[in-house]
Each structure stands twice: as C-alpha cells, then as structure tokens.
Amino acid sequence: IGQVANAYYFNGLIEEFAIWSSALSNTEIPDIQASNAPIDLRSDNGNYTSSSNLVHYWRMGDNDGGAGTTVTDIAGSLDGTLTNGASFGTDTP
C-alpha cells in the first residue's frame, strides 16, 4: 500500500491489513470476512486457525488511539507511517 514512482496511490479506506507466513484456507477467509466487526487475528476463532502463522498485523488506529501518524504492527515489528495526507478515520465497515 503505497506508491510507484510518485503515482498510483491507493485511494480508499483500509480497516485492517495482515500478512501470514502461509496461505489461508478456503474456510478461514469467509470466517474473517463475514464478521460484522473485525476479529482479532492473533487468536484462532471458528474456522480461522492460522493465528500462529500471522507475521504482521495492522489494525489501522485501533491500538494507536486513532491519532498521530504511526500504525503499529501488533503481530510483528514493522510499524507504518501515515504520509501524504493519510489519516485515521472513524468509519467502521
């Protein structure tokens, strides 16, 4: 999520972003997406059983108080920085 040669910026909203060390199964993905509220991907829940493979996980302000410019990686150590006018929002999908 960023840019290529000062072009192609992402224009939208991101609630959560995660990276795993292995692919999720076809039964895990619907469980993650079907929830009306974001689930904590650090814990197994229903058909989602890949919490031990979670490498990076950004909740986009949930654990940062929704303020400032740092997006904390709560599963790893790769914090992000909001730049170019990006900000935390209060909308919930």
Residue 45: phi, psi to the nearest 5? -155, 115
The residue assigned the tokens 């224009």 is: 11
pLDDT score at 43: 95
pLDDT score at 15: 81
Average pLDDT, the chain: 85
pLDDT score at 16: 86
Name the stretches of the chain with pLDDT < 70: 1-6, 35-36, 91-93
Is residue 34 classed exposed, middle or buried when 0-12, 13-18 and 19+ CB atoms within 10 A define those classes? exposed
- Does pTM top 0.75 for this prediction? yes
* Sequence-ordered alpha helix ranges (H) in 1-93: 28-34
